[in-house]
Chain A
Amino acid sequence: MAPRTCALCSTAKAMLKRPKTGQQICRECFFYVFETEVHNTITQSKLFRLGDRVAIGASGGKDSTVLAYVMKTLNERHNYGLDLFLLSIDEGITGYRDDSLETVKRNQQQYDMPLKILSYDELYGWTMDAIVEQVGRKNNCTFCGVFRRQALDRGAAMLAVDHIVTGHNADDIAETVLMNIMRGDIARLGRCTSICTQGEDTIRRSKPFKYAYEKEIVMYAYFKKLDYFSTECIYSPDAYRGHARAFLKDLEAARPSAIIDIIHSGEAFEVREDVKATQRVQRKDPFSLCWNDWFMCLSETCQRCGYMSSNELCKACTLLEGLERGMANSGITDRGRKKMEADGPTPNNLRTIPFYNPPSGNPAVTIETLA
């Protein structure tokens, strides 16, 4: 077959077919359109303000590595005026996170950005390795997810950043839409497609790669020879997500626009108010409904650690108490919770999470910078 020329510049040899458009384009045009689409996503959604301090949630994987590179490129090219930081969470998984953090440390050098690593161990007193030892491989992803979310916010508060960006791509979001439909999680269905979320006093979180296809992110990393780490977490891959992912990839193979189409469907859903209302009641614990509502009126922070919470205790404190008291299921099942309540009140000497002070403007930690 004779080599085709690029559909955009009509001079260079086409190197890839864009899944979104079917266009055949050359390497340089690909870099340009990929970066420009992310720039358009950023400007159209007004994600940043001049002078914002922005932390890039960096795992060392392909998405966050490409995100760090593209954020740096766009910040310089379009004068966003952002202060960029790398923020990594060390879950304490030997043979997985320790290796990927080495990649992040190299990224710190390559991209010349300050890096903050916050570990579960220093924040919660538990590594994932220790948690799995106690809870087994069944529910450990619940712990990891809840702990990571809070750790990212706390790490961001320590850096005094206004904003966290994460590498979630179009495939991830489409996958989450499918999963929320399959689980009947109407409340999350609406939220999961929004490009930017912000709680009461939480730091803003956004996904500049919301419309970027995974294929293009991987191609970008390959053509730019970016240094990233790729190994599956050694603890229980999320089987349900795995099925959603495989299904989505099959759809994409048949029709590449499927990914954007699903995101669009997620955005277009409008849930009737009475349906939303039933969801809320179902999700609340019927025994403490009045308490919950009462506390919600009083304040929306955890009574123990000060983190945002619609309950008396935030999810992380609940899970941590269960771990500390050797009843790890208390934060996961109703039966486990009742068992712990029957066991007596919370002991006084329980290990707790340091009190959360929302961002105040000045960094609370020394940031590791390049010598």
Chain B
Amino acid sequence: MSTISLKIEFGGGLELLFANQRSYSLSIPAIVPTNNRTTPTPPPTPDQPQEPVETKPADVTYLIHHMRDHLLKEREELFIEDDTVRPGILVLINDVDWELEGEGEYVLKDGDEVVFISTLHGG
């Protein structure tokens, strides 16, 4: 199965939810389930035969779910809401505002850098 390597970074205090580590390098599958499930589907049993899993190329929405399931250490509600980042968190993909890149639908490429910055902390 092919994978893509990514670098993610946190700013504005968001790193506090991620073990206070500001930067992570990670690999995710290039093709992922459309329902953004990040753990393997349980093996088929006689009662529950394996249903065909719909797939899509890995996008930022999948990455957000992956981060929630594998990197986030606490208070998930401060990071994710309705299958996307909580309002008030800015996302940049290769230093470009993700609003210009299709937000969660942006299809990730090998070597992409994604930055998440919280704006919710005091000024």
In the complex, besides A1-B101, A59-B122, A230-B11, 17 extra interface pairs with C-beta distance below 8 angstroms are: A14-B96, A14-B100, A15-B95, A15-B96, A62-B123, A64-B123, A171-B119, A215-B90, A215-B119, A218-B90, A218-B119, A219-B90, A222-B11, A230-B13, A230-B118, A245-B120, A249-B87
What is the count of residue pairs linking A and B with beta-carbon distances less than 8 angstroms?
A: 75
| A236 vs B88: C-alpha distance when bound (angstroms) | 20
Q: A16-B96, A218-B12 known; A59 and B87 CB under 8 Å?
A: no
Bound together, the chains give a CA A124 to CA B56 distance in angstroms of 62
Q: Do A252 and B87 touch (CB < 8 A)?
A: yes
Within 8 A of A (CB), among B2-42: 11-13, 16
Check B117 for interface membership: any CB of A closer than 8 A: yes
Q: Scan B85-96; emit 1 where CB is below 8 A from any A CB, else 0.
A: 011101010011
Docked CA distance A112–B105 (Å): 44
**In the complex, A72 has a CB within 8 A of chain B:** no
Given contacts A17-B100, A62-B12, A249-B87, contact A218 B122 (CB under 8 A): no
Closest to A249 in B: B87
**Measured CA separation A283–B122 after assembly (Å):** 29
Pair B102/A1 contact, Cβ less than 8 Å? yes
Smallest CB-CB separation from A252: which chain B residue?
B87
Best-surrounded residue of B13, B102, B121, B123 (most CB of chain A within 10 A)? B123
Name the residue on B nearest A100 (C-beta). B122
Which A residues touch B16, using CB under 8 A? 231
The residue on A at minimum CB distance from B95 is A15
In the assembled complex, A200 has its CB within 8 A of some CB on chain B:
no
Please report which residues of chain A, range 74-114, place their CB below 8 angstroms from some CB of chain B when the two chains form the complex. Answer: none
Give B70-123 interface residues, CB cut-off 8 Å to A: 86-88, 90, 92, 95-97, 99-102, 115, 117-123
**Is A61 among interface residues, defined by CB-CB distance under 8 A?**
yes
* Interface assignment of A261: CB less than 8 Å from any CB of chain B: no
Residues of B within 8 A of A62 (CB): 12, 119, 121, 123
Q: Is the CB of A61 within 8 A of B97?
A: no
- Option from B88, B92, B96, B121 in Cβ contact (under 8 Å) with A249: B88
What residues of B have a CB within 8 angstroms of the CB of A233 in the complex? 122
Which of A63, A218, A223: most chain B Cβ within 10 A?
A: A218
Taking CB atoms, residues of chain A closer than 8 Å to B102 are 1
Chain A residues lying within 8 Å of B92, measured Cβ to Cβ, are: 222
Does A214 touch B at the CB level, under 8 Å? yes
Complex alpha-carbon distance, A303 and B56, angstroms:
72
B13 interface neighbour in A16, A171, A232, Cβ under 8 Å = A232
Does A253 sit within 8 A of B, measured CB to CB? yes
The contact of A214 among B11, B97, B119, by CB within 8 Å, is B119
* Residues 203-218 (chain A) with a chain B CB within 8 angstroms: 214-215, 217-218
CA separation between A325 and B113, bound complex, in Å?
A: 57
B97 / chain A contacts, CB cutoff of 8 Å: 15-17, 219
User: Does A169 touch B at the CB level, under 8 Å?
Assistant: yes
| Among B87, B90, B96, B122, contact of A61 (Cβ-Cβ < 8 Å) | B122
**B11 / chain A contacts, CB cutoff of 8 Å:** 222, 230
Tell me if A300 counts as interface (CB < 8 A to partner B): no
Chain A residues, CB < 8 A from B13: 230-232
Pairwise interchain contact A16-B100, C-beta atoms closer than 8 A = yes
Given contacts A16-B97, A253-B87, contact A232 B12 (CB under 8 A): no
Distance in Å: Cβ of B120 to nearest Cβ of chain A: 7
* Cβ-defined contact, A17 with B123, below 8 A: no
Judging by beta carbons under 8 Å apart, are B99 and A222 in contact? Answer: no
Chain A to chain B contacts (Cβ below 8 Å), 7 pairs:
A15-B96, A61-B122, A62-B123, A171-B119, A217-B123, A222-B11, A230-B13
- Per the 8 Å Cβ criterion, residues 1-21 of A in contact with B are 1, 4, 13-17
Residues of A within 8 A of B96 (CB): 13-16
CB atoms of B119 and A232 under 8 A apart: no
Q: Does A230 lie within 8 Å of B87, measured CB to CB?
A: no
Say yes or no for A172: interface residue by CB 8 A criterion. Answer: yes
Please tell me if the beta carbons of B123 and A169 are within 8 angstroms of each other in the complex. yes
In chain A, what residue has the closest Cβ to B118? Answer: A230
Contacts of A16 in B (CB 8 A): 96-97, 99-100
